Chains A and B, each alone.
With several copies, the nearest count.
Chain A
């Protein structure tokens, strides 16, 4: 079966997030003074063939560990895996 997986890769908590810092710093000038804790990460979407959601999730996790993230500074989260009929 065909699955679509969505993975979010973000910097480990506690690490400086320059992008988030820059976005947060620019918001007040745009009139938004009520925002905090901005963090910017990477979003990866991919399709894969697998027999069963478990197999799919298992592979996605291994891909995320080896290729999509560097465990030294990043954590990842498989936010969704769902079957895609057809296309």
Chain B
């Protein structure tokens, strides 16, 4: 049977009907293709919009909120930090290198389109277990692709995440976050004055049959059904062209030659032109004959929806076009006039003198469908919650458990990954990968941006609301641990098929969790990305709200690291409860993914951050480290390994040791101070109402849990560092 064209393109009958009524006639196939691309889940957010509206987006330091290419935050001195996170999971699942590489290219262009110079990349990743050689192939390819592209364009990759879970085997999660900096008054936002008659200049790579329908097909249909026709939609990245595109774009912005700038991503020219026009409340005329093509014989709808990489669209005043051309030429980039903005809201497309499409720009860009899809918790949800490792009888010795958790690939050192990334190019990396948050200084100031990306898959599966809220809390804590103040987030929401009520419930709960946490921690949402259909058959990935947190430290010379040095007193800030639900211990040692995730008191969380920032700012701390995955035991071990310095501690509380060691109670950090500053820290903590318990001291070559077990830091370090390389060796 041959299904009708609109369905083949991913449009429902109702969507077709509403296109008909907007046009007052049948759409031709070029128009249908344009709508299909623009109204795809990926471009229109039709299933998620209703929920995303509930996110807090206002704040004194927010310069640009959601809705633009990327969000922007005031970081002082009239400078803006621009950042956004995006998913490239679907292409990466079938061509890991190019899929991940083009993911980097896309998010970098989003930041450049705001007029900002990209200064950092982070790459939170999820894969299936490394025992399967396909998962090893995916991990190796994705990491090589992110490095291959990021290293080649000269933007340092300074952080990310790498976690493993079986449900991510068929659908790996590949998110990439890019951060840029620009003078606030020079940001290229739609607020800019764009006039009727302004010229549309397309510059960068030529257009080919790349990812035709890639957005609407690749991102809106699950891998399984029709994997074959989705395949050609994977694109080849050209990082060299991207580097030239970045330099040319920023020179155009610096020289004030632009009224607007748009990257060409999903839905290609159709998206860039209709959004530019709609934002200006205008229409547009474009001439496809002008578009440089990579091969002969492209049909109009192919040119209109092609997702060829490394292209940008500039909105330029007519008298500036020649200057724009000259700049592009200097960087070796073709630049052509493809059209202009016109009065009235119509987007008119011509080729060889005849009009092939005439539709309302606003209907394409802003009037896509919007669904409040049915949602309800999975039946099995309660059974999951009731299977709680906190109450399991544990026969494994604390020492064996320690080694098991330390060598679990979720906890183990990630240097195999980040050594493949240039983390120092541009000369601003004060703190690269390996700590709680990366620090990238803002040139010419003593300020640095603090960046962390975190997602909580297991917690999310057990309680999507808590999972998302914990992700926000942990990323903010990671930032605060360095002494920086968390300011705002971006996010990428990775879920299964939204047409299934369970998935929609997970999504709605996650958004609610992000909203509550961001309100309480005063870190508004500046933007993000939604990736649905991450499932095969009916096995979806774990609901994963990936959070990208941005903070600022006023003087990076006062930044705190997680590394222990000798002769300090060790404190645990925050309180430990018997909370092994959804813990690494539960999965790695007991083989249980179940239970209630730890409770989260956002007021306590915020108090902890205030303490961390204050203590760092007054130079009290020898070290500070987030206490999260793997619990207190792992936080202590990581600080010891990082500093090559041992410790001796007594686990507080009278529960069995494995509770105190591996519970993942929220709002905690492991601090070390010179004894002479101890009372100062205790007073500060008391003042802010943060529980503070002294655990012991640092020093020596050994890790010592009093009366439980001990081992050398060297041995622990080797286990931590070698775990992932050994798994990859198969």
- A72-B231 Cα distance, complex, nearest whole Å: 6
Shortest A27–chain B CB gap in Å is: 13
Cross-chain contact B95 with A73 (CB below 8 angstroms): yes
Shortest A39–chain B CB gap in Å is: 12
- Using a CB-CB cutoff of 8 Å, which residues 39-87 of chain A contact chain B? 70-73
Please give, as numbers and ranges, the residues of chain A lying within 8 Å of B294 by CB-CB distance: 16
Please, which residue of chain A has its CB at the minimum distance from the CB of B96?
A70
Asked if A7 is at the interface (CB within 8 A of a chain B CB), the reply is: no
Asked if B241 is at the interface (CB within 8 A of a chain A CB), the reply is: yes
Shortest B557–chain A CB gap in Å is: 42
- Using a CB-CB cutoff of 8 Å, which residues 84-104 of chain B contact chain A? 94-95, 98
Cross-chain contact B133 with A29 (CB below 8 angstroms): yes
Shortest A76–chain B CB gap in Å is: 15
Cross-chain contact B240 with A22 (CB below 8 angstroms): yes
Cross-chain contact A16 with B133 (CB below 8 angstroms): no
Please give, as numbers and ranges, the residues of chain B lying within 8 Å of A73 by CB-CB distance: 95, 98, 234, 236
Shortest B308–chain A CB gap in Å is: 7
- A73-B230 Cα distance, complex, nearest whole Å: 12
Cross-chain contact A11 with B234 (CB below 8 angstroms): no
Cross-chain contact B208 with A16 (CB below 8 angstroms): yes
- A34-B327 Cα distance, complex, nearest whole Å: 28
Number of A-B pairs, beta carbon distance below 8 Å: 39
Please give, as numbers and ranges, the residues of chain A lying within 8 Å of B238 by CB-CB distance: 16, 18, 21
- A14-B233 Cα distance, complex, nearest whole Å: 11
Please give, as numbers and ranges, the residues of chain A lying within 8 Å of B730 by CB-CB distance: 29
Cross-chain contact B235 with A16 (CB below 8 angstroms): yes
- A14-B237 Cα distance, complex, nearest whole Å: 14
Please give, as numbers and ranges, the residues of chain B lying within 8 Å of A18 by CB-CB distance: 236-238, 240-241
Query: Which one of B236, B308, B309 lies within 8 Å of A11 (CB-CB)?
Result: B236
- A22-B98 Cα distance, complex, nearest whole Å: 18
- A17-B209 Cα distance, complex, nearest whole Å: 13
Q: Kindly supply a per-residue 1/0 record for chain B positions 367-398, scoring 1 wherever the CB is within 8 Å of any chain A CB and 0 otherwise.
A: 00000000000000000000000000000000
Please, which residue of chain A has its CB at the minimum distance from the CB of B99?
A72
Please give, as numbers and ranges, the residues of chain A lying within 8 Å of B231 by CB-CB distance: 71-72
Asked if B656 is at the interface (CB within 8 A of a chain A CB), the reply is: no
Please give, as numbers and ranges, the residues of chain A lying within 8 Å of B308 by CB-CB distance: 16
Shortest A72–chain B CB gap in Å is: 5
Asked if A35 is at the interface (CB within 8 A of a chain B CB), the reply is: no
- A22-B210 Cα distance, complex, nearest whole Å: 19
Asked if B232 is at the interface (CB within 8 A of a chain A CB), the reply is: yes
Shortest B597–chain A CB gap in Å is: 38
- A55-B236 Cα distance, complex, nearest whole Å: 34
Cross-chain contact B205 with A12 (CB below 8 angstroms): no
Query: Which one of A15, A22, A29, A71 lies within 8 Å of B236 (CB-CB)?
Result: A15
Cross-chain contact B205 with A16 (CB below 8 angstroms): yes
Please give, as numbers and ranges, the residues of chain A lying within 8 Å of B208 by CB-CB distance: 14-16
- A29-B236 Cα distance, complex, nearest whole Å: 26
- A18-B243 Cα distance, complex, nearest whole Å: 13
Q: Kindly supply a per-residue 1/0 record for chain B positions 225-263, scoring 1 wherever the CB is within 8 Å of any chain A CB and 0 otherwise.
A: 000000110111110110000000000000000000000
- A71-B236 Cα distance, complex, nearest whole Å: 14
Asked if B538 is at the interface (CB within 8 A of a chain A CB), the reply is: no
The 4 A-B pairs of least Cβ separation, nearest first, read A18-B238, A16-B236, A72-B95, A72-B231
Cβ contacts A to B, 28 pairs, < 8 Å? A11-B236, A14-B208, A14-B209, A14-B295, A15-B210, A15-B235, A16-B205, A16-B208, A16-B210, A16-B235, A16-B236, A16-B308, A17-B236, A18-B236, A18-B238, A18-B240, A18-B241, A21-B238, A22-B240, A29-B133, A29-B730, A70-B95, A71-B231, A72-B94, A72-B95, A73-B95, A73-B98, A73-B236
List 19 additional contacts besides A14-B295, A16-B235, A71-B231; criterion CB under 8 Å: A12-B232, A14-B208, A14-B209, A15-B235, A16-B205, A16-B236, A16-B309, A17-B236, A18-B236, A18-B238, A18-B240, A18-B241, A21-B238, A22-B240, A29-B730, A72-B95, A73-B98, A73-B234, A73-B236
- Seen from chain A, the residues whose Cβ lies within 8 Å of a Cβ on chain B are 11-12, 14-18, 21-22, 29, 70-73
